[in-house]
Amino acid sequence: MRRMALISCLVLMPVGWALSDHGMTGHMAGHMIAVAVAAPLLALATTGNHADPAQRWPRVITPMKMMLLDLLTVWGWHLPTLRAAADASSVLAALEHLSFLAAGFLLWSAALHSPARVSGIGALLLTSMHMTLLGVLIGLAPRPLYHGMHHSGELDPLADQQLGGVVMLVVGGISYMVGGLALLGALLRGERSASA
C-alpha cells in the first residue's frame, strides 16, 4: 500500500506540472494534484517511518500549525502579484508547485500522525473550507484576476478563470473533506471497539 502510494505520487507530480501550462484551468488542476492528491499519497507512503516529518518533529508539525501554513501557501500564491511573478519565471513556477506539495504533505502528515485525532480532523475540515472559499472567490470574480496568465485558447480569460475556480473548489474541497471524514470514521470505530 505504501509503495503504491509513493509510486502514484511520483507519477502524478509531473502530470500536474504539465497541466499547469494549460491556462487557469490547467494551472488549478496541477496545483490541486500537488496539494490535494499527491501530498496525501506522499503522507500515506511515509506515515510511521523515518521520512514522516510529524513523527520526527511532533511539536512543530502539528495539524493546526500546518493548516495555517497550507492556508498561507495556497492563498499567498494566488495573490495576483505573486501569480504574475510565477507566470513570468519558470524558477518561481517550480517553487510555487513544490511549495504546494510541501505544505500539503506537512498538513496530511500532521493530520495522520496526530495523537489527538480530533485536531487532525479539524485541520483537514478547515482546509476544505478555505480551499472551497478561495475556489468560490476565484470562480465568481466578475473580471479576470490574473492578467499575465497564459489562458487556454478554447476559453476566454474570465471563463478559464471561472472553470479554474471550480476545479479548486471541487478537488480541494472534496479531498480534505473526505480525509477529515475518514479520520473521523477511524476515530469513531476506535472508540466503539474500546467501549465494547
Per-residue pLDDT tens over the stretch 23-55: 888 889 999 999 999 999 999 899 888 889 998
pLDDT at 150: 64
pTM over 0.95: no
Q: Torsion angle, CA of 142/148/150/151, rounded to 10 degrees?
A: 10
Whether residue 25 contacts residue 170, with contact meaning beta carbons closer than 8 Å, is answered with: no
Query: Residue 105 has what pLDDT?
Result: 96
